[in-house]
């Protein structure tokens, strides 16, 4: 019995460590996700995966959703024989109303969290979930560590490879940020400097797969 208890304790400790090691999820081809757009002529596929639940965002050190920040995972698959460049890429969160939001930097997230702290009280979660009471502001080091670990930073996607990472958007002013919204990408270039056709990926594809409908 004592050995069994010890084994159970060790398994529990291992699971806890795994759940809190802040490791990016495994990289999969963009076609493995619900919301993707494929350009057959250019042989490039791009997918988006919102981390819009408490369970999914548990990989981070900071509770971004409760402060109105939406982590979006970007997955870029290059099936061509030439590298593609995202050095000049513009990756914007386009709301249902047509407003285009730029990605947030760590200092933007810190500023937003400080503002919410000063406001106090409760704020609604994205997607219309019940409001929750704010937790103490995350430390700047935690936010910066998350960006270092998770932020999308591949300026080049090599031939026949997939690169993935996270972008963070301030959606604190949107009651239902994903509904009718899209991720808009342009100024991606091939190895000769030619601009690829723009990508516009609806989040409704993700919501439909999740069961929320379009």
Mean pLDDT in residue range 161-175 = 97
8-state DSSP, 33: S
- In a domain, residue 20? The reply is no
Position 6 pLDDT exceeds 50: no
pLDDT band, residue 11 (cuts 50/70/90): very low
The continuous run of DSSP H or E covering 45 comes out as: strand 44-50
Write out the residue range of the structural domain in which residue 137 sits: 28-210
Is 1 inside any structural domain? no
Q: Is residue 9 part of a domain?
A: no
The closest alpha carbon to 153, from 103, 109, 79, 113, belongs to 103
Q: Map residue 30 onto helix, strand or coil.
A: helix
Residue 83 has pLDDT above 80, yes or no: yes
Does 36 have pLDDT greater than 90? yes
Q: Tell whether 63 is covered by a domain.
A: yes
- Whole-number average pLDDT of the chain: 86
pLDDT of residue 7: 43
Task: Give percent of the chain above pLDDT 90.
Answer: 72
Report the distance separating Cα 214 and Cα 211, nearest Å. Answer: 9
Number of folded domains that form the chain: 1
Give, in order, the Cα–Cα distances in Å from 140 to each of 102, 120, 152.
21, 19, 19
Band of the pLDDT at 113, cuts 50, 70, 90? confident
Least confident of 80-89, 135-144, 173-182: 135-144
Alpha helices (H) along the chain: 2-19, 106-119, 140-150, 204-210
Percentage above 70 pLDDT, the chain: 78
Q: What is the DSSP string of 135-180?
A: PPPPPHHHHHHHHHHHB---SEE-TTEEEEEEEEEE-TT-SSTTTT
Is 6 a member of any domain? no
7 inside domain: no
What confidence tens digit (pLDDT) does each residue in 37-62 have?
999 999 999 999 999 999 999 999 99
Whether 132 has a pLDDT exceeding 60, the answer reads: no
| Domain of residue 89, CATH code | 2.60.40.4110
């Amino acid at each position: 019995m004592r050995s069994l208890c010890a084994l159970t304790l060790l398994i529990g400790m291992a699971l806890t460590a795994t759940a809190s090691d802040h490791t990016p999820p495994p990289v999969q081809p963009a076609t493995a996700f619900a919301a993707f757009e494929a350009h057959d002529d250019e042989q490039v596929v791009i997918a988006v995966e919102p981390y819009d639940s408490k369970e999914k965002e548990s990989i981070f050190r900071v509770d971004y959703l409760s402060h109105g920040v939406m982590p979006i995972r970007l997955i870029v698959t290059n099936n061509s024989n030439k590298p593609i460049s995202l050095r000049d890429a513009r990756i914007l969160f386009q709301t249902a109303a047509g407003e285009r939001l730029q990605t947030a930097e760590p200092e933007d997230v810190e500023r937003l969290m400080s503002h919410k702290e000063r406001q106090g009280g409760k704020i609604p979660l994205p997607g219309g979930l019940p409001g929750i009471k704010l937790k103490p502001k995350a430390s700047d080091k935690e936010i910066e560590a998350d960006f270092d670990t998770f932020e999308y930073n591949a300026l080049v996607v090599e031939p026949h490879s997939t690169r993935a990472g996270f972008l963070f958007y301030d959606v604190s002013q949107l009651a239902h940020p994903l509904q009718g919204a899209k991720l808009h990408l342009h100024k991606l270039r091939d190895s000769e400097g030619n601009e690829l056709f723009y990508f516009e990926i609806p989040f409704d594809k993700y919501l439909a797969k999740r069961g929320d409908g379009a």
